[in-house]
């Protein structure tokens, strides 16, 4: 793990939040925000799960963003392997800039003045947790401390998250609807909240993806500075300016109408930017954060709709997405995983028809028992740093109780049934199994974060005795996120899932490291070798070109094949 450089190490005096805000207040708000948007492109944050500037880019920008005397000190720190530029700095600056009061005639920030703000931001992105009284409280405290860090340094390409919700909407929900009527009509619920169709919104999300990728491609070849989205960029379409502004208004804010966001719960609380990742200036929209922009399809479809439902429909709507996520995991295995080494059983049942768990994967004589969880952690908990709130979340969403079973207790129950059940009562796929790997998969990134696996495995281990299962090997419980699962698809095309999970178990005996940090098979970045994803992406882009009436410069219909 590398450590980022702080302002106090360069200046000799650690800064305070008040000093940071005073430094920000010397400059025009719009200039600060546009600078953040420019640098997120220059540093290529977001794509491929990149959250830290590459070494060659860091070398290039140290003399540009610092005055000569400070640049020399920063360069020496960089040579000692310190992190100088990372994504969280820009998010912190942008978030604080939105809280600044409106002041006329302030100067624009100069390039060489930005570096100090970046290091001051880095210095404030720390947290000293309270000392908890017990072992489980201490683990919950470590989870609360590190979840925001994992979010800042996400291993997942935002493109993968966009494709995940797109596949759920266009593949998994129709698959489920073909079996039985669904409780919710998601497009209808969406349109009742937003006032325009989910299809149009989806097309806009892919148009924002194209814009962001074109910006990055242009910067890599030093062609153009980052350009705003807006009527100028979308001029070669059949969209009216009214339609463009109506849709982009759902993802943007203006400085003249902004209501200053509430004080952050902690340094990683970028709730306002997640909701409004674009700054509108006149007719143009500047992207402040690529990852937050691509996350708007999921947040709109699930959480914005959820916020606007009647109280008695909120829990059923969240529950509705559980089977959708389960079917997404099943679709991944159907599409990419070698059946020579892995056999996937969706919603397996006992002889009496009772469900065993969400899925079982058989790898030879090993059975992987899967519980798939939406498990959304609300912002009040995620950014609080409060171990009691985090423990309450973990217990209520991922552990449960004997009478209200969630992930851990559901898996414990399955294992108890293996001990007392007759062979004829068990699903046939478990008949010849001699090893069990319990697995919890979360839709959100939290499943692969620091110490989550440690906490949940401690709770799992406390509920049964291995000596009661002498004929059966039961491994520690494993947790992972949907993003980690997607990145596992490439190796799963030629190996058993049990190999990947056992590698994660043996590589980190306390299971406190993130999944990717303890796996030689599942790595950071874009999920690779997913041709079905690329096929669906091409269909989405072709639909975008057709529906929006996009044209090339010569007026011919636009065409694009995903790279």
Sign of CA dihedral 249, 255, 260, 263: positive
Q: Average pLDDT in the 207-216 region?
A: 80
Q: Residue 221: is its pLDDT beyond 60?
A: no
Q: Average pLDDT in the 280-284 region?
A: 88
CATH 2.60.40 is right for the domain spanning 135-155+321-518: no
Higher confidence at residue 73 or residue 283? Answer: 73
- Reported confidence tier of residue 560, pLDDT bands at 50, 70, 90: low
Q: What is the pLDDT of residue 348?
A: 96
- Reported confidence tier of residue 561, pLDDT bands at 50, 70, 90: very low
Q: What distance in Å separates the CA atoms of residue 385 and residue 100, rounded to the nearest whole number?
A: 25
This prediction's pTM: 0.93
DSSP secondary structure, 395-457, as one string: IIIIIB-SSSB-HHHHHHHHHHHHHH--TTTS-GGGTT--EEEEEEEESSGGGGSTTHHHHHH
Q: What distance in Å separates the CA atoms of residue 154 and residue 158, rounded to the nearest whole number?
A: 9
Higher confidence at residue 548 or residue 528? Answer: 528
User: Using one digit for the tens of pLDDT, what is the confidence trace for 298-353?
Assistant: 999 999 999 999 999 999 999 999 999 999 999 999 999 999 999 999 999 998 99
Q: What is the pLDDT of residue 122?
A: 94
Q: What is the pLDDT of residue 227?
A: 67
Q: Residue 562: is its pLDDT beyond 60?
A: no
CB 528, CB 490: distance < 8 Å: yes
DSSP 172: I
Q: What is the pLDDT of residue 268?
A: 78
Q: Residue 186: is its pLDDT beyond 50?
A: yes
Give the percent of the chain with pLDDT over 90.
69
CB 10, CB 75: distance < 8 Å: no
Kindly tell me the burial class for residue 31, based on how many C-beta atoms sit within 10 Å of its own C-beta (0-12, 13-18, 19 or more).
middle
E strand or H helix that includes residue 461: helix 452-461
Residue whose pair of structure tokens reads 């009216």 in the numeric block: 240
Domain limits, the chain: 7-124, 135-155+321-518, 158-307
- Reported confidence tier of residue 266, pLDDT bands at 50, 70, 90: confident
- Reported confidence tier of residue 141, pLDDT bands at 50, 70, 90: very high
Q: What is the pLDDT of residue 47?
A: 83
Taking Cα atoms as reference points, which of 382, 373, 380, 454 lies closest to residue 146?
382
Q: What distance in Å separates the CA atoms of residue 79 and residue 411, rounded to the nearest whole number?
A: 48
Sign of CA dihedral 291, 210, 252, 106: positive
Mean pLDDT rounded to a whole number for the chain = 90
Residue whose pair of structure tokens reads 């996350």 in the numeric block: 295
Taking Cα atoms as reference points, which of 209, 205, 382, 158 lies closest to residue 301?
205
Q: Residue 88: is its pLDDT beyond 90?
A: yes
CB 247, CB 200: distance < 8 Å: yes
């Amino acid at each position: 793990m590398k450590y980022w450089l702080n302002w106090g190490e360069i200046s000799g005096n650690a800064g305070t939040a008040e000093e940071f805000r005073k430094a920000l207040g010397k400059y025009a708000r719009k200039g600060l925000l546009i600078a953040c948007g420019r640098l997120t492109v220059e540093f290529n944050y977001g794509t491929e799960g990149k959250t830290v500037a590459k070494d060659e880019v860091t070398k290039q920008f140290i003399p540009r963003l610092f005055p000569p005397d400070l640049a020399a000190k920063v360069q020496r720190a960089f040579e000692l392997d310190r992190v100088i530029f990372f994504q969280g700095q820009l998010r912190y600056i942008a978030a604080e800039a939105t809280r600044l009061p409106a002041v006329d005639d302030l100067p624009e920030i100069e390039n060489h003045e930005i570096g100090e703000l970046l290091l001051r931001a880095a210095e404030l992105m720390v947290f000293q947790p309270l000392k908890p009284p017990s072992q489980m409280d201490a683990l919950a405290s470590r989870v609360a401390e590190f979840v925001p860090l994992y979010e800042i340094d996400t291993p997942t390409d935002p493109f993968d998250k966009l494709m995940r919700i797109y596949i759920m909407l266009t593949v998994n929900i129709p698959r489920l609807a073909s079996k039985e009527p669904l409780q919710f009509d998601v497009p209808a619920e969406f349109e009742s909240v937003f006032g325009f169709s989910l299809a149009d919104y989806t097309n806009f999300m892919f148009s924002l993806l194209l814009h962001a990728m074109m910006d990055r491609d242009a910067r890599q070849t030093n062609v153009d500075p980052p350009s705003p989205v807006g009527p100028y960029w979308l001029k070669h379409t059949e969209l009216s300016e009214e339609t463009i502004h109506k849709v982009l208004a759902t993802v943007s804010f203006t400085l003249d109408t902004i209501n200053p966001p509430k004080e952050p719960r902690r340094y990683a609380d970028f709730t306002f930017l997640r909701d409004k990742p674009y700054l509108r200036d006149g007719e143009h929209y500047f992207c402040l954060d690529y990852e937050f922009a691509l996350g708007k399809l999921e947040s709109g479809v699930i959480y914005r709709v959820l916020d606007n439902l009647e109280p008695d429909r909120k829990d059923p709507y969240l529950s509705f997405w559980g089977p959708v996520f389960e079917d997404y995991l099943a679709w991944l295995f159907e599409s990419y995983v070698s059946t020579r080494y892995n056999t996937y059983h969706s919603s397996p049942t006992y002889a009496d028809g009772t469900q065993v768990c969400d899925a079982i994967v058989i790898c030879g004589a090993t059975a992987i028992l899967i519980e798939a969880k939406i498990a959304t952690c609300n912002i009040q908990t995620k950014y609080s740093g409060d171990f009691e709130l985090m423990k309450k979340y973990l217990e209520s969403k991922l552990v449960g109780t004997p009478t209200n079973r969630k992930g851990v207790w559901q898996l414990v129950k399955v294992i108890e049934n293996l001990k007392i059940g007759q062979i004829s009562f068990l699903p046939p796929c478990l008949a010849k199994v001699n090893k069990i790997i319990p697995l919890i998969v979360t839709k959100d990134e939290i499943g692969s974060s620091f110490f989550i696996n440690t906490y949940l495995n401690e709770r799992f281990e406390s509920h049964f005795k291995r000596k009661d299962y002498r004929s059966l090997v039961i491994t520690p419980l494993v947790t992972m996120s949907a993003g980690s699962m997607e990145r596992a698809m490439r190796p799963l095309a030629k190996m058993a899932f049990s190999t990947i999970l056992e590698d994660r178990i043996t590589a980190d005996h306390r299971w406190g490291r993130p999944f990717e940090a303890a796996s030689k098979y599942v790595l950071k970045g874009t999920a690779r070798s997913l041709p079905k994803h690329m096929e669906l992406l091409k269909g989405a882009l072709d639909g975008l070109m057709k529906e929006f009436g996009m044209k090339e410069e010569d007026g011919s219909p636009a065409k694009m094949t995903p790279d």
